[in-house]
Homo-oligomer: A and B are copies of this chain.
């Protein structure tokens, strides 16, 4: 089920377990409802329970797994209501993030964003759903990083896991072929410098996401 091996390079064992489990969950290899049993995981990687417990604790905090005391953990389910809530929140926040970051954007930034879209197209060509998603997250995350508000960046990191996971689970892959194309106009309006219009377009973009993924 989890084929990978731990590499034991720089990080602590618990960090490696955490990273590996998170990856499996985000990519949908570990399905909602699937149980995560401490001794079993520890046995598979030839490690003791402690680091596994620590990794699970972190995942629990992030909401990727849930568990009642003395009853173990399962990969959490993610309802479309939850995702809808997140998209509503994004509508509110992302406009702000774009507006705030715009004044600081330069040519390199635009080039970077365009690179992301190119890679998205490339990934679409290879039907690499995960890569498409990652680039999409990176594109939007860019503004959260640049809006100079740590609370908002933190919020984004939290939302991102859930959004990625939902997209990876829900098999609504249609339209991801055209995802890059949907984004290109956004770069244009950013270049124009009209921040009110940019904010409006990002919000519309957000709304169309909701339609694509939730209706």
On A, residues with C-beta under 8 Å from B are 11-12, 15, 50, 53-54, 57-58, 61-63, 69, 81-82, 85-86, 88-89, 92-93, 96, 149-152, 154-155, 158-159
Q: Which residues of B contact A61 (CB under 8 A)?
A: 57-58, 61-62
Please tell me if the beta carbons of A69 and B12 are within 8 angstroms of each other in the complex: yes
Please tell me if the beta carbons of A152 and B54 are within 8 angstroms of each other in the complex: no
Q: Contacts A57-B58, A58-B61, A61-B58 known; A88 to B159 CB distance under 8 Å?
A: no
Q: Which residues of B contact A53 (CB under 8 A)?
A: 50, 54
A54 to B51, CA, bound (A): 11
Q: Contacts A69-B12, A96-B92 known; A85 to B150 CB distance under 8 Å?
A: yes
Residue of B nearest to A55 (CB): B57
Copies of this chain, count: 2
Residue of B nearest to A82 (CB): B150
Q: Which residues of B contact A92 (CB under 8 A)?
A: 92-93, 96
Please tell me if the beta carbons of B81 and A150 are within 8 angstroms of each other in the complex: yes
Q: Which residues of B contact A54 (CB under 8 A)?
A: 53-54, 57
Further 11 A-B residue pairs, CB within 8 A, beyond A92-B92, A93-B93: A11-B69, A15-B69, A50-B53, A57-B57, A57-B58, A88-B149, A88-B152, A89-B93, A89-B152, A89-B155, A154-B158
Please tell me if the beta carbons of B155 and A155 are within 8 angstroms of each other in the complex: yes
Q: Which residues of B contact A158 (CB under 8 A)?
A: 154
Please tell me if the beta carbons of B151 and A82 are within 8 angstroms of each other in the complex: yes
Q: Which residues of B contact A88 (CB under 8 A)?
A: 149, 151-152
A204 to B34, CA, bound (A): 47
A113 to B166, CA, bound (A): 37
The minimal Cβ–Cβ distance linking A149 to chain B, given in whole angstroms, is: 4
The minimal Cβ–Cβ distance linking A15 to chain B, given in whole angstroms, is: 8
**Nearest 10 CB-CB pairs, A to B?**
A61-B61, A85-B151, A85-B149, A86-B151, A89-B151, A57-B57, A85-B150, A92-B96, A12-B69, A89-B152
